[in-house]
Amino acid sequence: MLRYLFTMCDILSSLCALVSPVVIFHWLFKVLNLPPLQGVISSLDPIFLPMESILELFIKLPSLNFGGHAYSTTPGLLAVLLTCAFFFFNFLSETLKVAEQRMNVQLDAQKQRKRLQKMQEEKLRKEKSLPDAMKIFVFVDYDVQPCPALGAKLEQFMQQEGAHIHSRVFNELALEFTTVEHGLRFVLGVSQSILGHYATLRPLDPQPPFKLSLHAVDKTLSISAAVGDAHKLVQFIVNNQVIISQSAKALLDSSGTQIPYRLQSLGVYAMDTGERELFRLFAGKQSTSL
């Protein structure tokens, strides 16, 4: 609506800008009474004389005597009014344009807020449905034979967090957990217990290294494939480290779990399920091999 109004104001302003000087010159040439221009002046009389007559109904101005003839000064007033109308319509047009711009900015901002709100709602919906579609796996690479006490501690952590054992071969253990929080507490408990125990030993005492991975896979993925993925993750870290997959981190973020230790990105790696970013979990005493 505003666009039509300021377009109309622009048209009226342009008409006033064109007509105003014509009125002035028509009046001046009539006063000067130049014979070569009489034809042009007479052709314009049907346009301006009615306008002057209407104006004289409201305002009566004194005549101008020039060359023994009396001339009406109403055309001068008409030119002034047309000039004022030009500035008025021009000002009104610019005001309406500014108003339309502000309205468009507000509409764009409102659309942007709605779009962001919709995106946020979609993100929350996906985050809420994410835990129901994922399975949590932990892979442990640790030789418990030299440290029976830590082996018993490992069994205790598995019972506390409700771990389900899928495979146990030599020093490798594949576990499944019901939630990512349980898996996180398990890897934190195991890593801190091992590092804390080693801190009390002599340098010559056996201190077999460990590697832990926390991974989340789609529930449609087979157990063997899921265990294989969790196993592959430990190949990307050195001894005495914990690695968390991109999918497990997404679950932690969606659940709002506060991790008391920082995560460090190790980069993006090519996996069987595509490229995935991996994160190292800093927990307890760190390996001196770095």
108 within some domain:
no
By residue range, what is the domain housing residue 139?
Answer: 131-281
Mean pLDDT calculated for residue range 201-212: 90
Do 170 and 31 sit in the same domain of this protein? no
- At which of 51, 85, 102 does a domain end? 102
Q: What is the pLDDT of residue 290?
A: 27
Round to whole Å and give the CA distance between 24 and 4: 31
Q: How far apart are CA 12 and CA 16, in angstroms?
A: 6
Q: What is the CATH number of the domain that holds 179?
A: 3.30.70.1230
For residue 187, is pLDDT > 90?
yes
Ranges 31-35, 64-68, 71-75, 161-165, most confident = 161-165
* 52 and 145 belong to one structural domain: no
For residue 64, give Cα distances in angstroms to 20, 25, 69.
20, 16, 8
Whether residues 97 and 150 fall in one domain: no
**Which of these, 259, 264, 209, 269, lies nearest to 233 by C-alpha position?**
269
CB 79 within 8 A of CB 3: no
Residue type, 124: L
* Shared domain check, 150 and 27: no
What are the tens digits of pLDDT across the range 18-67?
A: 777 777 666 666 666 666 655 666 666 666 667 667 666 666 666 666 65
- Cα–Cα distance measured from residue 162 to residue 210, given in angstroms and rounded to the nearest whole number: 21
Buried b (16+ CB within 10 A) or exposed e, 48-67: beebbeebeeeeeeeeeeee
Q: Using an 8 Å Cβ cutoff, are 174 and 230 in contact?
A: yes
Residue in this structure with the two tokens 């506060």, named with its chain if needed = 258
Per-residue confidence at 87, pLDDT binned at 50, 70, 90? Answer: confident
Looking at the structure, do residues 91 and 208 belong to the same domain, yes or no?
A: no
CA angle (254 as vertex; 249, 255 as ends), nearest 5: 100
Instruction: Based on the fold, state whether residues 93 and 192 are members of the same structural domain.
Output: no
- Check residue 205 and report its DSSP letter: S
Are 171 and 141 in contact by the 8 Å Cβ rule? The answer is yes
**Which of 2-6, 64-68, 84-88, 283-287 tops mean pLDDT?**
84-88
Percent of the residues in the chain that have a pLDDT greater than 90, as a whole number = 19
Total count of domains within the chain: 2
What does each C-alpha distance from 3 to 15, 37, 88 come to in angstroms?
Answer: 18, 42, 17
Is residue 214's pLDDT more than 80?
A: yes
